[in-house]
């Protein structure tokens, strides 16, 4: 039997060792880089930016795969669940459509779909000044002031009559897509029935003005209002208080002597 050279033996051992090392490294890398399959589900997402008051159509919503553990609660999973439903809040492109952002089934598209059940929409006339020079946008919060003449006296009165009121539309637009100011002649406000009565009377008896609030400001401040007489009286008092005091005139006298009598006379 022929003898195998030692060189071939060492070569075979090296080959086997290399194969074992390669196999071990592959197993190690595969173990470290292993990614477990993610369970997914179907979610309806907006196919474009959707405005409040608009009914969702087939082209405005699409189905996508979404990691099941990341699917938001109340997210729609089929197109049939959202088709024809009206959005009551803005929905961005690619955002899951949530039932909490949709009006009840059967609600018609339009401004009425955005109203709370206990609220009313009342439109008042404004101009570029009383409408905050066009910087009021839908969903902003405003205070309502009225300026009117007082009956029986020649005086005017200004008072904040409503506070923290939501603006629903400016003109006939219920969404502002650009940040540019838009001057309109009407503004629709969301009010309670009692506030609607106050606003209706104030708009017919005087001039309405809007005071824009900060987005996070919900503070209600009680004010007593101010009249023209109070305004000018306050200014007059301030001017009087700030006016420099007039120096007192020094009184000069002389002594008059008549016989035994002495008297003083002013110059």
Is the pLDDT at 195 greater than 50? The verdict is yes
Write down the pLDDT at residue 2: 58
Categorize the per-residue pLDDT at 125 as very low, low, confident or very high, splitting at 50, 70 and 90. confident
* Same domain as 131, residue 77: no
- Section 230-245 average pLDDT: 58
* Same domain as 215, residue 137: yes
Residue 19 domain flag: no
* Same domain as 146, residue 95: no
The answer to whether the beta carbons of residues 137 and 192 sit under 8 Å apart is: no
* Same domain as 58, residue 85: yes
* Same domain as 97, residue 130: no
* Same domain as 212, residue 124: yes
Number of domains in the chain: 2
Residue 190 domain flag: yes
* Same domain as 200, residue 124: yes
* Same domain as 124, residue 102: no
* Same domain as 216, residue 121: yes
Give start and end residues of each alpha helix (H) in the chain: 6-32, 193-205, 228-242
* Same domain as 120, residue 94: no
| Whole-structure pTM value | 0.58
CA angle 85, 89, 94 (to 5 degrees): 80
Write down the pLDDT at residue 248: 59
Residue 14 domain flag: no
- The DSSP H or E segment spanning 216 is none
Write down the pLDDT at residue 165: 94
- Section 248-264 average pLDDT: 63
Residue 201 domain flag: yes
Is the pLDDT at 239 greater than 50? The verdict is no
Residue 236 domain flag: no
The answer to whether the beta carbons of residues 169 and 188 sit under 8 Å apart is: yes
Q: Please report, for the domain that includes residue 92, its CATH number.
A: 3.90.1210.10
Residue 116 DSSP SS3: coil
Question: pLDDT (tens digit, 9 = 90+) per residue, 63-120?
Answer: 999 888 888 989 999 999 998 898 888 889 999 999 999 988 888 888 788 888 889 9
Residue 234 domain flag: no
Q: Is the dihedral of CA 237, 243, 245, 247 positive or negative?
A: negative
| Residue-range definition of the domain harbouring residue 59 | 39-110
Write down the pLDDT at residue 230: 81
């Amino acid at each position: 039997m022929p003898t195998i050279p030692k060189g071939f033996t060492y070569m075979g051992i090296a080959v086997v060792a290399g194969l074992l090392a390669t196999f071990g490294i592959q197993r190690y890398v595969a173990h470290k880089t292993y990614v477990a399959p993610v369970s997914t589900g179907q979610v309806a997402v907006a196919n474009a930016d959707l405005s409040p008051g608009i009914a969702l159509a087939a082209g405005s919503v699409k189905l996508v795969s979404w990691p099941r553990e990341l699917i938001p609660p109340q997210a729609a999973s089929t197109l049939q669940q959202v088709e024809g439903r009206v959005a009551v809040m803005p929905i961005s492109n690619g955002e899951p459509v949530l039932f909490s952002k949709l009006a009840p089934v059967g609600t018609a598209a339009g401004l009425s779909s955005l109203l709370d059940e206990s609220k009313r929409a009342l439109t008042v006339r404004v101009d570029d000044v009383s409408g905050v020079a066009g910087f009021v946008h839908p969903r902003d919060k405003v205070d309502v002031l009225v300026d009117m003449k007082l009956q029986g006296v020649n005086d005017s009165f200004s008072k904040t009559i409503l506070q923290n009121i939501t603006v629903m539309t400016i003109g006939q637009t219920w969404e502002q897509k650009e940040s540019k100011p838009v001057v309109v002649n009407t503004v629709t406000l969301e009010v309670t029935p009692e506030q609607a009565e106050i606003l209706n009377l104030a708009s017919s008896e005087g001039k309405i003005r809007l005071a824009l609030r900060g987005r996070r400001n919900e503070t209600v401040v009680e004010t007593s209002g101010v009249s023209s007489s109070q305004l000018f009286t306050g200014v007059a008092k301030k001017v009087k208080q700030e006016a420099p005091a007039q120096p007192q005139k020094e009184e000069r006298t002389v002594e008059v002597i008549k016989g035994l009598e002495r008297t003083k006379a002013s110059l």
